[in-house]
């Protein structure tokens, strides 16, 4: 187990990619902290981790609020659980909307959860990683941040910001023994896509060279690799599991 004895904080781990990441990191030996806004879903992820033989605890967290994030890490201090790994996964989605019809609320919501949340958590985690001279931050971006997503200007801007944030902080953090990387998934089979009509999903799949959606477990596997010492010489990079959609 490549993460034995390490503490891994996973934000937005109540479902989908976040839950798969929590389960995979726990399977690699990490003590997982499920930082999830929805307390019920957070506990469901804890149950999933424990059913697979792992160790997890849930701490309700609103990543869009700096005070809530600060409280999360203060709780970890109290528990003597300084983070070794941080996975900034929390996000939100909404129906496609043209830019000229996008409201202030919709725009700000995406940036607060995705970009602000990544900043708040990274800031708190680094304050605890630097004194120990080690740590890994994995930011979940999206292929939308690499190539753009029509009807998703706010989402694409937030994910693109995460990619630039990753590259910037990686330069700063390297001297402190901390690696910072990003994972930019393509179309992944999550509950969000389950609401799409079959013809829309078929159109999406037709554009993917591998001819299928990715699985949450495949994304989690990439995260687990990057969080481990096997990726010790990788920092500031963006890895995009996307089935060939964007190369």
Q: Which CATH number do you get for residue 99? A: 3.40.50.720
Assigned domain for 133 exists: yes
SS3 218: helix
- 64 φ/ψ angles, rounded to the nearest 5 degrees: -80, -5
Assigned domain for 199 exists: yes
CA 108, CA 125: separation in Å to the nearest integer? 24
Instruction: Say if CB 79 and CB 52 are below 8 A apart.
Output: no
- 206 φ/ψ angles, rounded to the nearest 5 degrees: -65, -20
Assigned domain for 244 exists: no
Assigned domain for 87 exists: yes
Instruction: Say if CB 94 and CB 111 are below 8 A apart.
Output: no
Assigned domain for 1 exists: no
Per-residue pLDDT at 199: 86
CA 34, CA 56: separation in Å to the nearest integer? 7
Q: Which residues are catalytic?
A: 155
Assigned domain for 24 exists: yes
Per-residue pLDDT at 194: 75
Q: How many helices (H) does the chain have, and how many strands (E)?
A: 10, 7
Number of domains in the chain: 1
Assigned domain for 2 exists: no
Cβ neighbors of 105 (< 8 A, separation 6 or more) are: none
CA 82, CA 77: separation in Å to the nearest integer? 6
- Helical H segments across 7-38, by residue range: 16-27
pLDDT tens for the chain, 247 residues long, are 999 999 999 999 999 999 999 999 999 999 999 999 999 999 999 999 999 999 999 999 999 999 999 999 999 999 999 999 999 999 998 888 999 999 999 999 999 999 999 999 999 999 999 999 999 999 999 999 999 999 999 999 999 999 999 999 999 999 999 999 999 999 999 987 876 778 888 999 999 999 999 999 999 999 999 999 999 999 999 999 999 999 9
Per-residue pLDDT at 10: 98
Instruction: Count Cβ atoms below 10 Å from residue 176 Cβ, excluding itself.
Output: 14
Count Cβ neighbours within 10 Å for each residue of 79-97 and write b for 16 or more, e otherwise: eebbbbbbbbbbbbeeeeb
Per-residue pLDDT at 147: 95
Assigned domain for 247 exists: no
Domain carrying residue 97: 7-239
């Amino acid at each position: 187990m490549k993460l034995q004895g390490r503490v891994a904080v996973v934000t937005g781990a109540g479902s989908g990619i976040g839950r798969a990441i929590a389960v995979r990191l726990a399977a690699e030996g990490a003590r997982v902290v499920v930082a999830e806004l929805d307390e019920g879903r957070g506990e469901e992820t804890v149950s999933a981790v424990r059913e697979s033989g792992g160790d997890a605890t849930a701490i309700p967290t609103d990543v869009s609020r700096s005070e809530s994030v600060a409280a999360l890490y203060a709780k970890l201090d109290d528990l003597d659980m300084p983070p070794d790994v941080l996975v900034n996964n929390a996000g939100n989605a909404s129906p496609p909307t043209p830019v000229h019809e996008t409201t202030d609320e919709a725009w700000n919501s995406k940036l607060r959860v995705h970009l602000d949340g990544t900043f708040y958590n990274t800031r708190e985690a680094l304050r605890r990683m630097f004194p120990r001279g080690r740590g890994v931050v994995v930011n979940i971006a999206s292929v939308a941040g690499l190539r753009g997503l029509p009807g998703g200007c706010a989402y694409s801007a937030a994910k693109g910001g995460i990619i630039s944030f990753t590259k910037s902080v990686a330069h700063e953090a390297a001297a402190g023994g901390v690696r910072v990387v990003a994972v930019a998934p393509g179309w992944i089979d999550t509950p969000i896509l389950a609401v799409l009509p079959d013809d829309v999903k078929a159109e999406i799949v037709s554009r993917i060279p591998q001819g299928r959606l990715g699985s949450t477990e495949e994304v989690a596997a990439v995260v687990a690799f990057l969080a481990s010492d096997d990726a010790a010489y990788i920092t500031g990079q963006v890895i995009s599991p996307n089935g060939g959609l964007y190369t």
